[in-house]
C-alpha cells in the first residue's frame, strides 16, 4: 500500500492507472512558463530546518552494527544457496534454486546501492570496496551505476535531466509519447501491460550496460571493473554448466536473471513511476523536488527488508547518505515537517510544476477508402493529441 507526501508521500492526490488514448479535442493552449520559474512561493531555506531536526535526532549517524548483520545474513544466504545448488546437482528442481538466487542477488545489489550513497562507512574508499565487490558478485558496473544514479538523485523525474525516465520503450509524459514511432509507439500505448514483462529483461540490461561502460572507459576504474565482470561471467557460467545439463543450465540462467531483473524493477519502480514529471525549464529547490516526485510504500519490517529500505523513498532522496536502518525513524519526522507547509501539499502541483508548451498534434491522413471526398469545414481528419500516459505503477489513494 502506498502513501504520498505532498505530491510525494503524505498528501491527498492520486494518479490513476490510465491508457494512452486518442481523443477528439483541440490541442491544449500554450502554457509556457515564464523564463524563470520560481521554486516555490515559500523560501527555499526550509530544508536546513528539517536537516537540523534530523541531525538532532541522531539519524545521520552510521549504523555499522546493522550493516555487519546484513553482511553476515547475505553471506549465509549466498553460501547456503550455493551449497544447495551443488548438492542437488543436475535436476529441474534447480529452477527453485534459481528463484532463491534471484532474491539473494537483489539483496546484494541493495548493499551496493547503500555503498554507492556512502551510507555504510565514513570513508569513500571503504564504501567503494564494498560497492565494487557487490557489483562484481551480481555482474554490475558499480562505477557506471553510481554516476547514473547520482544524476537521478540530483534531478528526480525531471523531463530533461533524469536518466531514469529516458527509456526508449517507455514514455512518462505526453511529449515523450509524441516522439515515439513504429513499434515503440505501440509499446508506449500498451506500456501498462508491457512494463512487467520488460522487467524480466532488466537484469540483462544491467549486464550489457556494465560491459559497455567498462569497454568504453566510462568508469573511473576500468581495469578493476573489467576484471570483476570477467570473473563473474566465467565463474557463473562455469558453475552452471558444470553442475547442470546444457538445457537445465539455460533454463536456470533464464529464471535467475529474469526474476532478478523483475525483483529489482519492483523494488525501484514504485519510487517515482507515476509521480509528477517536472517539465523542462522548471527548477525546484532540493526539498520540493525530492518530496513532490517521490513515493513511500507502507509496510513493516518485512517490507523494509524486501525493498531494501527503498520504501522510504522520500526520506532517502532528502538524505541520501542516511543509513538504511535510520530511514524508518526519519519518516515521521519528515511527515510532521511537511504537514503544515502548503507548498508541499497536493493542491500546489499546478503552481509548482507548471507544464511547458505542448507539442502540436501530428496530422495523419486516413486510408483512401475511408477518406471523404470533401470533409466538412473545420472537421479535417487529423491525429489527435495524446492526452494521458499510462503509469506503469498505479498509486493507491490514501
The 10s digit of each residue's pLDDT in 184-200 is 999 999 998 999 999 99
89-130: pLDDT as tens digits: 999 999 999 999 999 999 999 999 999 999 999 999 999 999
What letter would DSSP give residue 11? S
Residues in the chain: 398
Residue 353 has what pLDDT? 58
Quote the Cα angle for 97-101-103, to 5°.
120
- The maximal CA–CA distance of the chain, rounded, in angstroms, is 78
Distance of alpha carbon 307 from alpha carbon 263, whole angstroms: 9
pTM for the full predicted model:
0.77
Supply the Cα-derived Rg of the chain in whole angstroms. Answer: 24
- Return the bridge partners of 386, or none: 22
302 phi, psi to nearest 5 deg? -65, -45
Q: What is the 3-state secondary structure (H, E, C) of 47-106?
A: HHHHHHHHHHCCCCCCCHHHHHHHHHHHHHHHHHHHHHHHHHCCCCCHHHHHHHHHHHHH
Whether the Cβ atoms of residue 209 and residue 141 lie closer than 8 Å to each other: yes
Burial class of residue 177 in the structure, from the number of CB atoms within 10 Å of its CB (0-12 exposed, 13-18 middle, 19+ buried): buried
Mean of per-residue pLDDT scores for the chain: 80
160 phi, psi to nearest 5 deg? -95, -30
57 phi, psi to nearest 5 deg? -80, 0
45-89: pLDDT as tens digits: 689 999 999 999 999 999 999 999 999 999 999 999 999 999 999
Amino acid at each position: 500500500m502506498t502513501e504520498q507526501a505532498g505530491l510525494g508521500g503524505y498528501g491527498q492526490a492520486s494518479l490513476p492507472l490510465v491508457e494512452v488514448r486518442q481523443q477528439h479535442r483541440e490541442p491544449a493552449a500554450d502554457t509556457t512558463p515564464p523564463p524563470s520559474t520560481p521554486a516555490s512561493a515559500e523560501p527555499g531555506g526550509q530544508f536546513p530546518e528539517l536537516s537540523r531536526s534530523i541531525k538532532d535526532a541522531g539519524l545521520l549517524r552510521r549504523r555499522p552494527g546493522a550493516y555487519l548483520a546484513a553482511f553476515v545474513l547475505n553471506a549465509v544466504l549466498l553460501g547456503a544457496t550455493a551449497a544447495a545448488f551443488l548438492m542437488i546437482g543436475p535436476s529441474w528442481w534447480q529452477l527453485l534454486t534459481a528463484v532463491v538466487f534471484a532474491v539473494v542477488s537483489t539483496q546484494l545489489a541493495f548493499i551496493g546501492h547503500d555503498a554507492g550513497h556512502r551510507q555504510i562507512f565514513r570513508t569513500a574508499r571503504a564504501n567503494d570496496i564494498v560497492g565494487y565487490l557487490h557489483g562484481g558478485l551480481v555482474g554490475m558496473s558499480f562505477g557506471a551505476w553510481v554516476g547514473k544514479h547520482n544524476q537521478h538523485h540530483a534531478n528526480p523525474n525531471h523531463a530533461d535531466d533524469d536518466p531514469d525516465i529516458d527509456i526508449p520503450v517507455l514514455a512518462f509524459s505526453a511529449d515523450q509519447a509524441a516522439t515515439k514511432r513504429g513499434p515503440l509507439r505501440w509499446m508506449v500505448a500498451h506500456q501498462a501491460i508491457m512494463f512487467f514483462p520488460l522487467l524480466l529483461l532488466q537484469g540483462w540490461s544491467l549486464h550489457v550496460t556494465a560491459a559497455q561502460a567498462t569497454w568504453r572507459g566510462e568508469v573511473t576504474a576500468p581495469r578493476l571493473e573489467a576484471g570483476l565482470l570477467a570473473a563473474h561471467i566465467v565463474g557463473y557460467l562455469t558453475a552452471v554448466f558444470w553442475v547442470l545439463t546444457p538445457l537445465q543450465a539455460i533454463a536456470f540462467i533464464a529464471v535467475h536473471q529474469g526474476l532478478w531483473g523483475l525483483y529489482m524493477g519492483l523494488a525501484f519502480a514504485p519510487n517515482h513511476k507515476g509521480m509528477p514529471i517536472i517539465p523542462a525549464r522548471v527548477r525546484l529547490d532540493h526539498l520540493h523536488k525530492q518530496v513532490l516526485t517521490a513515493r513511500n510504500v507502507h509496510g513493516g519490517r518485512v517490507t523494509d527488508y524486501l525493498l531494501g529500505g527503498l520504501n522510504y523513498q522520500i526520506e532517502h532522496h532528502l538524505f541520501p547518505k542516511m543509513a538504511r536502518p535510520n530511514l524508518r525513524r526519519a519518516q515521521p519526522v519528515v511527515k510532521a515537517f511537511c504537514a503544515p507547509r502548503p507548498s508541499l501539499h497536493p493542491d500546489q502541483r499546478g503552481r509548482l510544476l507548471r507544464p511547458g508548451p505542448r507539442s502540436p498534434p501530428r496530422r495523419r491522413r486516413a486510408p483512401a477508402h475511408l477518406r471523404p471526398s470533401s470533409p466538412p469545414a473545420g472537421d479535417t481528419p487529423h491525429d489527435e493529441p495524446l492526452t494521458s500516459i499510462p503509469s506503469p505503477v498505479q498509486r493507491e489513494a490514501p
